[in-house]
A and B are shown apart, each in its own frame.
Chain A
Amino acid sequence: MSDYNTEKNHILSRRLIIIIIINLLAFAVLAARLWYLQVFEAEKYRMMSDENRISTRFLLSPRGTIYDRNGEVIAKNEQNFQAVMIAEQTPNIEKTLEVFKSIIALSEDEEARIRNDLKSKNRFIPVKLKENLSWDEVSQLMLHAPDMPGVEISEGLNRRYPYAELYAHVLGYVGPVSEADRKDNPLYMVPGFKIGKSGLEKYFDYKLQGKSGTVKLEVNAYGRVMKEIERDAGKQGDNITITVDSRLQKAAYEAFGKQSGAAVVLDVRTGEILAMVSAPSFDPNLFTNGISYKHWNELLNNERMPLIDKAVSGQYSPGSTFKIVVALAALEAGIINGETRYYCSGGMEIGNTRFHCWNHYGHGSLNVVEALKYSCDIFFYETALRLGADRIREMALKLGLGQVPNVGLDNEKSGLIPSKSWKMAKYDAQWAPGDSANTGIGQGYVLVTPMQLVTMLARVVNGGYAVNPTFIKPTEKQLSKIKHLNISKRNIELVKLGMYEVVNGVGGTAKKAKFNLDGARMGGKTGTTQVRRISMKERRSGIRHDSQLPWRLRNHAWFMGYAPADNPRYAVAVIVEHGSSGSGVAAPIASKILQETLKLDIK
């Protein structure tokens, strides 16, 4: 018995040692695993733990205010209440949405957008359900808050444009971030975050946005906020003051009445844009919360194209206004001088083609001042033929035509000043004398925008200084750097005299637009550009005059003017689309605008 027991005990002891070794090995595995998790991979798990518990939210900084030159607010922020949903905080998105819809109606479009946002955004980012809530709606939502976990009311800021359509093309508008804008900026995912979509709102977007803040919150597994860990308040957007005078802006816009067109007023000494309108316009307030499909289509399909900023994006033949450039180029080149006279018989042969003056009876013999005054075409055909395309082009470029003005707006066009090589490249054809003649009266290939034309006029009437149009007041230093274009004062005075006569001389083309405000008079130049010739068929059916054609086939009407004539300070360029006549339609509008400018005594 004892032998058995002894042998059994020996076996037990031996096996026990093996069991103990196995136990030790097992504990070694546990200890190694603990070391692996708590030391080797600690950093990774610490980050995952923080990701679990810390939810970062953005604090949107108020967008900067925009003022006009007199300190009037032209773009501001307005408080608005919005309801948002944080997906990770609601156990059942569908149910929560149902409850929400029972309190506040959502259109199909809105619901589709919400669902799309919920799908595409991170679960911790609040998705906007509805904004611009009334107090009543807010209190209803608060009452039902327990049934809608994850739904929160947040105070947002709405962009508001007090002058509505007056500044639509200058300021543009802000709008919700679209897919195309998104890029990688997580800020762009925050509901209610708006970016500048066009105009100066877009150009100065970065400045106006400021720096958004962040708040780090500790949340539990169900997404409930436990405490605030850290807050960075961010920085409010910068305010911006632009050079436009709202009173003048209003007067300029109203001067168009029902007409379609654009006008730009410059301070000729500094290039400051005092007014820039494009008619008809639209209300940018419609865009700040995402414009409805119906409104958008109305704007898009309007034949007068309210969405297009005609002041910088509209390219038109300058017509007779271009004669200023040709005259100055010829005077500077010495082709003509104040005494040079050409004879206008009402028409002339160039190559095999007969070119007409607008006055078929002819102007007789005239010098450059008279040629400008009556806007004689023959004089400028003769001049242009002698001058050649290249020297015209050189002067045009000097005066700011043919290049983008860069005032900070979308789709600023460069216009077109043709050259021999340009025609060769574009049409594979030689430059013909007829091309020079057409260029001489601003027809043919030449294209300008109103912004360019007013810049050209400003550079001429300020004595030849290369001012650039701008919405931001130039500093003294910038002003002192404005270069002189090396145009002789005598020649400029000749051209100015011509423009003075256009308005104030007996028989000048814009004599009906003249005024005398305490001695301040206007100088300027008319222009009419053909949209389409009146066809033989139309002539036969009795249409003799442009105004008998359908609106969109009528000629464009130009007028550019400046005042006071003896000491120019303001320049304006007006285009009236399909206005038929520069002298009859555009000149009165320009005259009205300049008179208003003088009366306002702009600082």
Chain B
Amino acid sequence: MAEFGFHGYERSWKDKIFSMSFTYMLLIILLAIIGTVTLYSAANGDWQPWAIRHIMRFVTAFALMLGMAVINAKYYYKSAYAFYLLTFLLLVAVELTGHIGMGAQRWINLGIFKIQPSELMKIGIVLFLARYYSAMTVQGIKSIRGLIIPAIMTLAPVALIATEPDLGTALMVLLTASVMLFAVGVQWWKFAAVGAALAAMLPIGWNFLHEYQQNRVLTFLDPERDPLGTGYHIIQSKIAFGSGGLLGKGFLHGTQTHLNFLPEKHTDFIFTMFSEEFGLFGSLSVLLLNMLVLALGYVFAFRTRNYFARLTMVGLNTNYFLYVFINIAMVMGVLPVVGVPLPLISYGGTVMFSIMASFGIMLCMSVTYDNYEE
């Protein structure tokens, strides 16, 4: 098993944790605090109902992150396919129960908590592709043959998620996989070819979208089209951003949010609320914190020489990047509203746990470089 590079002596979990980046953890904590504070304001200055649960979830998820960080990295490698398969089966199960008669279905109820298999798939696809490509030669990667299995393994779950329907998540899984294919060295022209093919099929795909999804896209292209209906959210969101100005209206003083002009202020539109109260100064700060999280992730990927670990980190970092970019872009009217939350800040358990799990894996991979031995 020498070629997989996960052997060597096993260090204690304390050793591991102290060799991990505290800066990374600090940035994560800072973002979660910003989330808590904003949720406190979203409830008109009350810990209930969101802020208190957000902080409790974060603490729990932080423990989960540390737990996942100290696991021996080779277990991720070994269980990559199994994890992918399990997640895929859960997706199928969701699809079936959905068909049995509950309409849109994204959840599986496991008694004590509900899980959203599509969230798990964001990690599953990363682990699958990382393992698949770590075993492949450069020639293999550059051949058409090297694309067949990854393409199937990506498109199958994407199709399932898209029909849930959860267009935002489907898009993120697809984009994450694409970025990973790009990272391993799939030629530029192949992306160009697929892009061209997609553009050609766009009119056909349009008809497969639900009406509300079509509306979202149309409204994105022209928010004034229906200022009291679907366009209302994005117009009110832009007003909140703009009226916040340079320094903001002050904590607890955002009029757009506190007077209920802004919908979904505690979930998808939380960045809007934060920016109204803290202005450009605040919004750029959050942007900067997220850039630092991403930058550290890329630093880890550069420092590590283990291919599986590097590729996993690229995938997870890309996933995080997509969360932040899509959410912020959509609330500012740069992208259509596709229902992607802002990790660590938006209220919601699933994203909190899945993103903290992914940070756990990042941290774990970040310290595999020093036991890498050829």
Chain A residues at the B interface, C-beta cutoff of 8 Å = 1-2, 4-5, 7-9, 11-13, 15-16, 18-20, 23, 26-27, 29-31, 33-35, 37-39, 41-42, 44-46, 48-50, 52-53, 218-222, 226
Contacts of B332 in A (CB 8 A): 30, 33-34, 37
The listed residue with most B CB atoms (<10 A of its CB), out of A20, A23, A49, is A49
Contacts of A18 in B (CB 8 A): 182
> A52 to chain B: closest CB distance in Å?
5
Given contacts A7-B138, A30-B287, A31-B287, contact A16 B334 (CB under 8 A): no
- Nearest to A38 among chain B residues (CB) is B280
A466 to B3, CA, bound (A): 124
A220 to B238, CA, bound (A): 17
A27 to B289, CA, bound (A): 12
- Nearest to B281 among chain A residues (CB) is A38
B241 contacts A29, CB within 8 Å?
no
Instruction: Supply 10 further A-B pairs (C-beta < 8 A) apart from A33-B332, A37-B242, A221-B260.
Output: A5-B305, A16-B298, A16-B301, A30-B287, A34-B332, A49-B239, A49-B240, A52-B236, A52-B259, A53-B255
Indicate if B349 sits at the interface (CB-CB under 8 A).
no
Contact-size category for B:
35 or more
A-contacting residues, B180-219, CB 8 Å:
182-185
A221: contacting residue among B183, B261, B310, CB under 8 A: B261
Given contacts A11-B184, A12-B183, contact A52 B255 (CB under 8 A): yes
Contacts of B291 in A (CB 8 A): 27
- Nearest to B2 among chain A residues (CB) is A1
Binds A, one of B71-79, B88-96, B243-251: B243-251
Chain B residues at the A interface, C-beta cutoff of 8 Å = 2-3, 137-138, 141, 179, 182-185, 236, 238-246, 255-256, 258-261, 275, 279-280, 283-284, 287, 291, 294, 298, 301-302, 305, 307, 310-311, 314, 318, 321, 325, 328-329, 332, 334, 374
Contacts of B301 in A (CB 8 A): 16
Contacts of A4 in B (CB 8 A): 137-138
A35 contacts B280, CB within 8 Å?
yes
- Nearest to B183 among chain A residues (CB) is A15
A1: contacting residue among B3, B138, B240, B321, CB under 8 A: B3
A30: contacting residue among B185, B238, B318, B334, CB under 8 A: B334
30 pairs of residues in contact across A and B, judged by CB atoms under 8 Å: A1-B2, A8-B185, A11-B138, A12-B185, A15-B185, A16-B183, A16-B298, A18-B182, A19-B179, A19-B182, A23-B294, A26-B321, A27-B291, A29-B329, A30-B328, A31-B284, A33-B332, A33-B334, A37-B241, A38-B242, A38-B283, A45-B239, A45-B241, A46-B243, A49-B240, A49-B243, A52-B255, A52-B261, A220-B259, A226-B259
B185 contacts A11, CB within 8 Å?
yes
Contacts of B258 in A (CB 8 A): 220
> A75 to chain B: closest CB distance in Å?
43
- Nearest to A20 among chain B residues (CB) is B298
Please name the 10 residue pairs, one residue from A and one from B, whose CB atoms are nearest each other, closest first.
Answer: A45-B242, A49-B243, A220-B259, A11-B185, A221-B260, A38-B280, A37-B241, A42-B245, A46-B243, A221-B261
Contacts of B294 in A (CB 8 A): 23
Contacts of B246 in A (CB 8 A): 38-39, 42
B287 contacts A34, CB within 8 Å?
yes
Given contacts A15-B183, A30-B329, A39-B280, contact A48 B287 (CB under 8 A): no
Given contacts A1-B3, A11-B184, A19-B179, contact A218 B242 (CB under 8 A): no
- Nearest to A7 among chain B residues (CB) is B138
A218 to B261, CA, bound (A): 12
The listed residue with most B CB atoms (<10 A of its CB), out of A4, A11, A37, is A37
Contacts of B243 in A (CB 8 A): 42, 45-46, 48-50
- Nearest to B262 among chain A residues (CB) is A221
- Nearest to A49 among chain B residues (CB) is B243
Contacts of A16 in B (CB 8 A): 183, 298, 301-302, 314
> B345 to chain A: closest CB distance in Å?
15
A9 to B258, CA, bound (A): 51
Contacts of B310 in A (CB 8 A): 9, 12
Contacts of B141 in A (CB 8 A): 8
A52 to B258, CA, bound (A): 12
A34 contacts B241, CB within 8 Å?
yes
Contacts of A30 in B (CB 8 A): 287, 325, 328-329, 332, 334
A48 to B242, CA, bound (A): 9
A46 to B238, CA, bound (A): 10
Contacts of A2 in B (CB 8 A): 374
B321 contacts A23, CB within 8 Å?
yes
